[in-house]
Structures are given as structure tokens and as C-alpha cells.
Amino acid sequence: MPNPCETCAFGSAGAAQEPYNALRGTICSLGAVPFFCHHGRDGQEYDWQDSPLGPLQLHPTNRKLCAGWQAEVSNLKQRGYFGEYRPIRRAVARAALNALERYLNKDLNLHKKQRAQMLLERCIRFLAARDIGDKEIPL
């Protein structure tokens, strides 16, 4: 498994200090949703904050999964977070990411932001639980 870089979103500096990036990384790891490195395979660091495409703006052969994310997902897997419920976790994580984007949308009215926040909170509580077998899926 590759080693995380110094500015990894799962480290203690750089991208990890950006609250949005850290929250997205956490949601992606808890749901095993691919999280891409902020460096391309060519080694160049990319700033995706101002692009709605994120890593998709890179050519597919230049994208790589974040090594910190890979390590975190491996750790969660060893601790029993996925198993047969991996597809459910992934669906809930995608819903959480969608709710996060809606919540941060400056053009959304307050009522819709509040609904997005409530869904985001329910999804994160669900994802953070190790045993979800008897939990209601928050979708």
C-alpha cells in the first residue's frame, strides 16, 4: 500500500486542516467511496476547490486514490466496518456527500439547508456506527 504524502487529507497538515476536505475524507472512508489524492500520478499537486469536477478534471490515467484514504479504509475493514453492509454504507455516504454539497450551496434557502443538515447528521451518525445491522438506513 502506498504511503500518504505529507499534505494528505488524512494526515495532520495541508489538506487535513481544511474542514471541508477533512469531513469529505471522513465520509468517504466510512462509506468506502473512492477519495482521490490531491496529487496526480505525474506528481503535480492540483487545487480542486474551485472546480465542481474535482479530480474528474484530470485525465483518468493521471488520477490516483489517496494513500491516506486507502489506509483508513483498510483499518476500518479490519475493524469490521464493511462486510455485507458495504453497499449500504456506500449509498449512505453518497447521500451524506450530496447533503453536504446542498448545505454548503450559498443559493439554497434556509429551509432546504436545514433539511440537508439534518440528513447529513443522520447519515454521519449511521456511518460512524460499527454495527449497522439493526439500524434504520437514513435514506
* pLDDT tens figures, 16-49: 778 888 899 999 999 999 998 888 888 877 776 6
Q: Is residue 1 part of a domain?
A: no
Span 77-106, mean pLDDT? 95
CA angle 130, 14, 75 (to 5 degrees): 25
Residue 53: its pLDDT value, please? Answer: 67
Structural domain including 85 reads 14-128
Q: Is residue 54 part of a domain?
A: yes
How many separate domains does the chain show? 1
Picking from 37, 129, 29, 24, the residue whose alpha carbon sits closest to that of residue 73 is 29
Q: Is residue 133 part of a domain?
A: no
Q: Is residue 45 part of a domain?
A: yes
Q: Is residue 7 part of a domain?
A: no
The residues, ordered by sequence, that sit 6+ positions from 68 with a Cβ below 8 Å of its Cβ are 4, 8, 9, 10, 11, 25
Residues belonging to the chain: 139
Q: Is the pTM of this model over 0.75?
A: yes
For 55-91, write each residue's pLDDT tens digit.
Answer: 777 788 988 898 999 999 999 999 999 999 999 999 9
